[in-house]
Chain A
Amino acid sequence: NAGVTQTPKFQVLKTGQSMTLQCAQDMNHNSMYWYRQDPGMGLRLIYYSASEGTTDKGEVPNGYNVSRLNKREFSLRLESAAPSQTSVYFCASRQQVFSNQPQHFGDGTRLSIL
């Protein structure tokens, strides 16, 4: 049982390039999340999808777009990458959107933008 799978694990981009980070979960969870983790900043929510067909902004959505492709997959797109978007990106899923449900995280995508 893989849980939450993120691809790629590492990526280096040049400023202005675009890319899509992929996330898939096999736990039949309804809610999915994208976070970024920066040193000394904890995890900050970028976007989330409470259920298939819905997406909402989190704390730091600027410069990102998301697509909930189906119940399993939730992608994060950087249209024009900037050095400030250098970070580790984590995808997470949760059975339901309600607060007392644990979130399950993938192992992250380490993204460097030069």
Chain B
Amino acid sequence: QQQVKQSPQSLIVQKGGISIINCAYENTAFDYFPWYQQFPGKGPALLIAIRPDVSEKKEGRFTISFNKSAKQFSLHIMDSQPGDSATYFCAASTNSGAGSYQLTFGKGTKLSVIP
């Protein structure tokens, strides 16, 4: 079974601080690594995504760092704001082999940003 392991399960950060969420994967065929943001009562929404041919991707305050050799990737939220309080899911997918075309999700991290 393909797995994406996500940590921590929950995270509390002061306003203005840096939030870091980590994910690790096993399947070396994964070739797309998106992060989704989910607010209570809503469906997940794509936040940012990376392909394994780059080591970092930045969009505003959100950055994905990718370490192909370690099979790990992480989401960094700079200058965290109370409006960033949500559940974040990492995911991975591949176009080949078992489970192709499917997104495999981590179990989620509930982020709370306190004023």
Seen from chain A, the residues whose Cβ lies within 8 Å of a Cβ on chain B are 4, 31, 33, 40-45, 48, 50, 58-59, 90, 92, 97-100, 102-108
Contact = CB atoms under 8 A, between A and B. Distances in A.
Nearest to A48: B102
A42 B108 contact: yes
B95 interface: yes
Given A42-B107, A99-B94, A99-B95, A48 B43 contact: no
- Describe B's contact surface by its main secondary structure: loop
For chain B, the bracket of interface size reads 20 to 34
Interface of B: 1, 6, 9, 31-32, 34, 41-46, 49, 51, 89, 93-95, 100-103, 105-108
23 contacts: A4-B43, A31-B101, A33-B103, A40-B107, A42-B108, A43-B44, A43-B89, A43-B105, A50-B101, A58-B102, A92-B43, A98-B95, A99-B100, A99-B101, A99-B103, A102-B34, A104-B46, A105-B43, A105-B45, A107-B41, A107-B43, A108-B41, A108-B43
A48 B49 CA distance: 21
